[in-house]
């Protein structure tokens, strides 16, 4: 078997499209000959650094996104349900602390994009971590690390790396081919990604036995 191709996924739980990419790439790391590296990153920093505008600031984009997410939820088998106040969840509250806790990403996505619940307070992070299977001691340690300089620098570094690659939003998939990074933005480039790495796109559920989340 040829050496595995390294694929980095830059994401933020405040982005619903990132959740779709996260689930698909996690499914395909068992199917494709790849080494998947998950890169939790601060979307707010990428938007500011690239000069991009959030979809909530463009009325037509915002209206389209609501309808689009309903279709994508069914297609990708990911339980997306936008919160009642999307701009507040995405832009006012944000996800800075949440993105410092990588292991509970799926539960954080579920809270904000399905249950319409908070992801900013320590109690919210603790509950999500508990559902993700972390022990009490692991949760305590994770919350302590959230405010540590080490974790802050790690998130800052990931954000700067994403910008250096040319990021302007998430999800961002960076595939390393022949020593060069190839960028794929969004949750609708998987077929093209498969073509570029010499693999087959088998749809959003490569394993038909994949259970509902």
Mean pLDDT, range 87-96, rounded to an integer:
52
Question: For residue 115, which phi and psi values (nearest 5 degrees)?
Answer: -95, -10
Residue 115 CB-half CA count within 13 A: 11
DSSP code at position 118: -
The pLDDT value given to residue 211: 47
Give yes or no for a cis peptide into 130 (omega within 30° of 0): no
Q: What is the pLDDT of residue 164?
A: 97
pLDDT digits (tens, 9 = 90+) for 143-166: 888 888 988 899 899 999 999 999
What is the DSSP code (8-state) at residue 97?
T
State the average pLDDT over residues 128-138. Answer: 91
CA angle 78, 95, 108 (to 5 degrees): 35
This prediction's pTM = 0.86
Say if residue 102's pLDDT is above 60.
yes
pLDDT at 103 over 90: no
Q: Are 190 and 32 in contact (CB under 8 A)?
A: no
- pLDDT more than 70, % of the chain: 87
- What's the whole-number mean pLDDT along residues 28-32? 94
Confidence label for 209 from pLDDT (cuts 50, 70 and 90): very low
Residue given tokens 């509902």 in the structure block: 212
How many whole angstroms separate alpha carbon 161 and alpha carbon 183? 13
Q: Of all helices (H) and strands (E), which one includes residue 131?
A: helix 122-131
Helix segments in 77-121, DSSP class H: 86-87, 105-113
Q: Are 31 and 207 in contact (CB under 8 A)?
A: yes
Residue positions annotated with a catalytic role: 15
Ranges 29-43, 64-78, 141-155: which has the least confidence = 141-155
**Cβ neighbours of 174 (radius 10 Å):** 20
- Does the pLDDT at position 6 exceed 70? yes
Scanning 3-104, the segments in alpha helix (DSSP H) are 16-28, 43-50, 59-76, 86-87
**Rounded distance between C-alpha atoms, residue 40 and residue 101, angstroms:** 9
Is the pLDDT reported for residue 40 higher than 50?
Answer: yes
**Is residue 171 over pLDDT 70?**
yes
- Percentage of residues of the chain with pLDDT beyond 90: 62
**Please, are residues 175 and 184 in contact by the beta-carbon 8 Å criterion?**
yes
Side by side, the strands of the sheet bearing 5-11 are 34-40, 5-11, 172-177, 180-185
What is the C-alpha separation between 188 and 110, in angstroms, rounded? 21
């Amino acid at each position: 078997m040829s050496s595995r191709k390294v694929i980095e996924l830059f994401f933020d739980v405040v982005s619903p499209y990132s959740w779709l990419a996260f689930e698909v790439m996690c499914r395909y790391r068992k199917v494709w000959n790849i080494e998947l590296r998950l890169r939790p990153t601060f979307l707010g920093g990428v938007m500011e650094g690239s000069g991009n505008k959030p979809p909530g600031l463009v009325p037509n984009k915002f209206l389209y996104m609501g309808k689009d997410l309903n279709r994508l939820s069914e297609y990708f088998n990911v339980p997306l349900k936008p919160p009642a106040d999307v701009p507040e969840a995405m832009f006012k509250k944000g996800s800075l602390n949440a993105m410092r806790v990588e292991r509970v990403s799926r539960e954080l996505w579920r809270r904000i994009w399905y249950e319409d619940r908070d992801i900013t307070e320590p109690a919210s992070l603790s509950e999500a971590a508990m559902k993700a299977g972390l022990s009490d001691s692991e949760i305590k340690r994770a919350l302590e690390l959230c405010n540590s300089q080490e974790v802050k620098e790690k998130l800052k570094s990931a954000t700067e790396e994403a910008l250096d690659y040319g990021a302007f939003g998430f999800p961002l998939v960076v595939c390393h081919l022949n020593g060069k990074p190839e960028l794929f933005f969004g949750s609708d480039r998987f077929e093209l990604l498969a073509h570029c790495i010499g693999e087959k796109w088998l749809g959003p559920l490569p394993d038909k036995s994949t259970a509902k989340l």
